[in-house]
Amino acid sequence: MHIPDYFEFYNKTKISSGSAALENIPFELESMNAVKPLVITDKKSAKNGVVKAFVKSFYNSGVTIGAIYDEVPGYASSVLLQNLSKLFRDRGCDSIIAIGGDAAASAAKGLNILVSNKSDNLLMFEDMTKSARLKPFIFIPTSEARGTETSNEAVIDSHIYRSDDLFPDLVLIDRRMLKWTGKKNTAASAMLALAQSIEACTFTGSNPVNDSFAYASIALVYENMAGALKCHCNKKEKAGFMNGVAVSGIVYSNAPEGLARAIGFEMEKLTGYPAGLCAGLVLPYTLDYKFRFEKSGVRGELLLPLAGIDNYCEVHESERAEKSVELLYLMLDNLEGVIPGRIKDLNIPMYMIKKIAEAAEARGGSKYGKGAALQILEHAYEGVPFKGGKSK
């Protein structure tokens, strides 16, 4: 086990998961001295019945829902926050519940900053040390969640606000909220969660506490991915899968951003393809590059959550790191028909690949070697592993 001379780990989020988890919300709110939440969600969640199930769980609870805002678009904006903050104040709310995915969670985090500080200017709180104590915030993932929601970040108008205060106080995972949204969406969520957790434990400064969370996240996503993809009725697998996705956000918040994740989000900005899909397509190549050319980061322990204890013990210690990389390549092969196998299949022109590589390296500063992103993207573009060496 890798133990650095000094490390820190922080997590304030409680996770409640399982049957009838929704019915615990009144108790959880009471424990946080809150009685009137504003509920933030999107049209899809309102349409597919998850909001109805949420409201039903409050019957006879004594808790009053201040308002339900179900108009969150695919991103959080300052205009949206102004509307939400007015609604929060007009209805006398004292807490926030977000239902859905990244946009709803980011909107809730941004709103929390504004109403807690009685302000209309989010830019004043880029440095969160100036912020007042935030109000209680509960996040309930639907199948749209991808692991960013449980992190210490909020993305408003494409600007990232980061603070440990932005972690949700409670993440509540209930099978009734995990409606079927299609295989591609589930695969993209899985790949982003895996990228976040795997990269968090494949850098030299990783620590045993975050590693333990990361390995749990990897195992939950990897073991339940097939069941979650197979049928919308596999609610047990969907719940296990979503637990792994949720934990990945906490893991990501306690480690530097990895190159696969950076490439994924820069590719999303420039092409519109989901960040999870893009990060997943480059993840095996990123680890392969580290293993073969940087000779660091990819540790044998990674095989344990990917292969299970029996298979892990059957592989010689000296071969475990490489076997982990091979399993991630195999994962992409097994997802054929659900997602493209290569970046080239997304019909992204090569000149865009160079722009994505430049943006990813700029995003990561000096953490990545010069030219690493482009090398990785060129191999992922053609679907060619690094066994033959670097591209020319």
Q: Indicate the domain borders of the chain.
A: 14-177, 183-388
* Banded pLDDT at 390 (limits 50, 70, 90): very low
Chain mean pLDDT for the chain:
91
- Specify whether the CB–CB gap between 275 and 363 falls below 8 A: no
Distances (CA, A) of 318 to 212, 223, 229, 286, 299: 21, 24, 33, 20, 10
CATH 1.20.1090.10 holds for 183-388: yes
- Specify whether the CB–CB gap between 26 and 62 falls below 8 A: yes
Question: And the tokens for 160?
Answer: 């990232």
Give the pLDDT score at 391: 43
- Specify whether the CB–CB gap between 290 and 369 falls below 8 A: no
Cα(378)–Cα(392) distance, integer angstroms: 10
Cα(325)–Cα(338) distance, integer angstroms: 21
* Banded pLDDT at 392 (limits 50, 70, 90): very low
Cα(283)–Cα(372) distance, integer angstroms: 13
Candidates 57, 14, 17, 50; CA nearest to 32 is 14
Q: Is the pLDDT of residue 45 over 90?
A: no
Neighbours of 205 (CB within 10 A): 11
Cα(35)–Cα(43) distance, integer angstroms: 25
Neighbours of 342 (CB within 10 A): 14
- Specify whether the CB–CB gap between 154 and 109 falls below 8 A: yes
Q: Is the pLDDT of residue 90 over 80?
A: yes
Contacts of 295 (CB under 8 A, 6+ apart): none
- Output the DSSP codes for 223-280: HHHHHHHH-TT-HHHHHHHHHHHHHHHHHHHTSPPPHHHHHHHHHHHHH-S-HHHHHH
Question: Element (H or E) spanning 40, and its range?
Answer: strand 37-42
In three-state secondary structure terms, 150 is coil
Query: pLDDT of 182-210, one tens digit each?
Result: 899 999 999 999 999 999 998 877 899 99
Query: pLDDT of 25-35, one tens digit each?
Result: 999 999 999 99
Residue 103: exposure state from Cβ atoms within 10 A (0-12, 13-18, ≥19): buried
% of the chain beyond a pLDDT of 70: 97
Query: pLDDT of 243-262, one tens digit each?
Result: 999 999 999 999 999 999 99
Residues 346, 351, 355, 360, CA torsion sign: positive
Query: Domain 14-177 adopts which CATH fold?
Result: Rossmann fold (3.40.50)
Cα(107)–Cα(111) distance, integer angstroms: 6
- Specify whether the CB–CB gap between 319 and 327 falls below 8 A: no
